[in-house]
Structure 1
Amino acid sequence: MSKLFGYILSPVFYFFFGLTLCIFHPIQWICHRFFGYKAHKVSVDILNFFLTYCQVFLLNSVIFKNDYSLPTHRPIIFVANHQSMYDIPTLIWFLRRYSAKFISKIELTKGIPSISINLRVGGGANINRKDNKQAISEIIKLGRRMQQNNWSTVIFPEGTRAKDGQVKTFQFGGIATLLKAVPNALVVPVAIENSWKIVRFGMFPLTTGNALRWTVLNPIDPEGKTANEITLEAETEIRKVLGQEMT
Structure 2
Amino acid sequence: MKKIIDYILSGIYLIYFGLTLVVFHVIQVICFHFFSRKTHQKSVHWLNGFLLHGLWLLGTRLHYEAKTELPADRPVIFIANHQSMFDIVGMIWFLRKSYPLFVSKIELAKGIPSISYNLRKSGAALIDRKDGKQAIVEIARLGKLIEETKFSAAIFPEGTRSRTGELKTFATGGVGILVKKAPHALVVPVAIKNTGKMNPKGIFPLSSLERLSWVVLPPIEPKGKSVEEIVELAKTAIQKEIS
TM bracket (short chain):
over 0.9
| 1:187 aligns to 2:214 (yes or no) | no
| 1:162 aligns to 2:168 (yes or no) | no
Q: Which amino acid aligns with 1:19?
A: L
How far 1:88 sits from its partner (Å)? 0.7
State the identity %: 51
How far 1:163 sits from its partner (Å)? 1.2
Corresponding residue SS for 1:50: helix
* Partner Cα separation in structure 1 for residue 203 and residue 43 of structure 2: 27
Q: Structure 1: where are the runs of 5+ without partners?
A: none
* Partner Cα separation in structure 1 for residue 176 and residue 201 of structure 2: 35
* Partner Cα separation in structure 2 for residue 202 and residue 107 of structure 1: 17
* Aligned residue in 1 for 2:225: 225
TM-score normalised according to structure 1 size = 0.96
* Aligned residue in 2 for 1:51: 51
* Partner Cα separation in structure 2 for residue 241 and residue 148 of structure 1: 32
Aligned residue pairs, count:
243
How far 1:107 sits from its partner (Å)? 1.3
**Deviations 1:162-210 (Å, cap 9, x if unpaired)?**
0111111111111001111011210000100000101123322111111
TM-score normalised according to structure 2 size = 0.98
Corresponding residue SS for 2:165: coil
Corresponding residue SS for 2:215: strand
**Deviations 1:76-134 (Å, cap 9, x if unpaired)?**
00100000001111100111110100011111111110001100111111111111111
Which deviates the most, 22-31 or 201-210? 201-210
Q: Which amino acid aligns with 1:210?
A: E
| 1:129 aligns to 2:95 (yes or no) | no
How far 1:216 sits from its partner (Å)? 0.7
Question: What pairs up with 1:64-75 in 2 under 5 angstroms?
Answer: 64-75=64-75
Corresponding residue SS for 1:221: coil
* Aligned residue in 2 for 1:112: 112
CA contact (8 A) 1:2 1:209 kept: no
* Aligned residue in 1 for 2:143: 143
How far 1:3 sits from its partner (Å)? 2.9
* Partner Cα separation in structure 2 for residue 73 and residue 3 of structure 1: 48
* Aligned residue in 1 for 2:23: 23
* Aligned residue in 2 for 1:95: 95
How far 1:67 sits from its partner (Å)? 2.8
Q: Which amino acid aligns with 2:38?
A: K
* Aligned residue in 2 for 1:198: 198
Corresponding residue SS for 2:224: coil
* Partner Cα separation in structure 1 for residue 99 and residue 199 of structure 2: 28
* Partner Cα separation in structure 2 for residue 39 and residue 203 of structure 1: 30
* Partner Cα separation in structure 1 for residue 143 and residue 205 of structure 2: 39
* Aligned residue in 2 for 1:5: 5
Counterparts in 2 of 1:59 and 1:132: CA distance versus 1, 3 Å: same
CA contact (8 A) 1:61 1:211 kept: yes
* Partner Cα separation in structure 2 for residue 95 and residue 85 of structure 1: 16
* Partner Cα separation in structure 2 for residue 5 and residue 152 of structure 1: 39
Counterparts in 2 of 1:149 and 1:2: CA distance versus 1, 3 Å: farther
| 1:176 aligns to 2:176 (yes or no) | yes
* Partner Cα separation in structure 1 for residue 92 and residue 242 of structure 2: 22
Corresponding residue SS for 2:241: helix
How far 1:2 sits from its partner (Å)? 3.9
**Deviations 1:136-176 (Å, cap 9, x if unpaired)?**
00100101110110010111000100011111111111100
CA-based RMSD of the aligned residues comes to 0.9
* 4+ residue runs over 4 A deviation: none
Corresponding residue SS for 2:214: strand
Q: Which amino acid aligns with 1:190?
A: V
